[in-house]
Amino acid sequence: GESVGLHLPTLSVQEGDNSIINCAYSNSASDYFIWYKQESGKGPQFIIDIRSNMDKRQGQRVTVLLNKTVKHLSLQIAATQPGDSAVYFCATGGFKTIFGAGTRLFVKA
Amino acid sequence: GAVVSQHPSRVICKSGTSVKIECRSLDFQATTMFWYRQFPKQSLMLMATSNEGSKATYEQGVEKDKFLINHASLTLSTLTVTSAHPEDSSFYICSAGRGAYEQYFGPGTRLTVT
């Protein structure tokens, strides 16, 4: 079956530094990928998405990189802020959204 | 932007009772809604796909007779946890689909079964 996994369960960064969160997926047929942010006790919040015909997409302070050859996805957050502290999930989408395990990001002031 | 609400946000019920959770798309119509369950420090696990006007499609391992889903209108899906037990205590999250690649998530419902 399809699975989406993450390399690191927790990530601690200094405020102002860049953060990189990694994700591996298993289904080579996946054609749509999404990153979500989830704060404690809340639903997931859309951050950025990318389709399989792209290898990079930028948003405001965030960049998603897709490497289809090794089935790897990453989320880069520039100038990480305390408000970025949350759990980040990668997911494969389309009709259904399947979530990866999640990485908790701690931002140290 | 698209808004999805859930009610209640928190519920405590006694073991053996049933509890209903509502998911509403407030500003768009959703022919498909999804229900997820999230245990502490774990990811969201898809439970079922709720289809307006037809039966829900359940993921493997999810008991359809325990988790009753009704999608009576294009803006409302309900999840009823029947004969709840403490192991059903979890965070239940719905999402509503608008188009093939757009999904909007609700704020979640914290269920505690005592």
Query: Mean pLDDT over residues A9-25, rounded?
Result: 95
What is the number of CB-based contacts under 8 A between chain A and chain B? 48
Q: How confident is the model at residue A3 (pLDDT cuts 50, 70, 90)?
A: low
Which residue has 């009576």 as its token pair?
B72
- Phi–psi pair at A59, nearest 5 degrees: -125, -160
CA-nearest of A72, A77, A78, A76 to A92 is A72
The residue among A44 and A26 whose pLDDT is bigger is: A44
Query: Mean pLDDT over residues B79-102, rounded?
Result: 93
* CA separation for the pair A90, B34 (Å, rounded): 17
CA-nearest of A95, A63, A81, A36 to B99 is A95
Partners of A32 on chain B (C-beta within 8 Å) are: 101
**A86-101 pLDDT, tens per residue?**
999 999 988 889 999 8
Residues 6 or more apart whose CB falls under 8 angstroms from that of B32 comprise A95, B49, B50, B51, B52, B96, B97
Q: How confident is the model at residue A1 (pLDDT cuts 50, 70, 90)?
A: very low
Q: Is A10 helix (H, G, I), strand (E, B) or coil?
A: strand
Of A43, A95, A96, the CB nearest to B108: A43
What pLDDT, on the 0 to 100 scale, is given for residue A5? 55
Answer yes or no: do B49 and A97 touch at CB < 8 A.
no
What pLDDT, on the 0 to 100 scale, is given for residue A8? 53
Q: What is the DSSP string of A51-108?
A: ETT-SEEE-SSEEEEEETTTTEEEEEESS--GGG-EEEEEEE-SSS-EE---EEEEEE
For residue B109, the distance in angstroms to the closest alpha carbon of chain A comes to 9
Give which of A40, A42, A92 to mutate to test B binding, by max B Cβ within 10 Å. A42
Answer yes or no: do B43 and A49 touch at CB < 8 A.
no
For the record, the structure tokens of A39 come out as: 């704060």
For the record, the structure tokens of B32 come out as: 């498909």
Answer yes or no: do B44 and A45 touch at CB < 8 A.
no
**B43-54 pLDDT, tens per residue?**
999 999 998 888
Query: Mean pLDDT over residues B75-82, rounded?
Result: 97
**B3-39 pLDDT, tens per residue?**
999 999 999 999 999 999 999 999 999 889 999 999 9
- Cα–Cα distance list, B60 to B45, B48, B49, B57, B64 (Å): 11, 9, 12, 10, 10
Is omega for the bond preceding B8 within 30 degrees of 0, making it cis?
yes
Of B49, B105, B108, the CB nearest to A96: B49
Report chain A's mean pLDDT, rounded to a whole number: 91
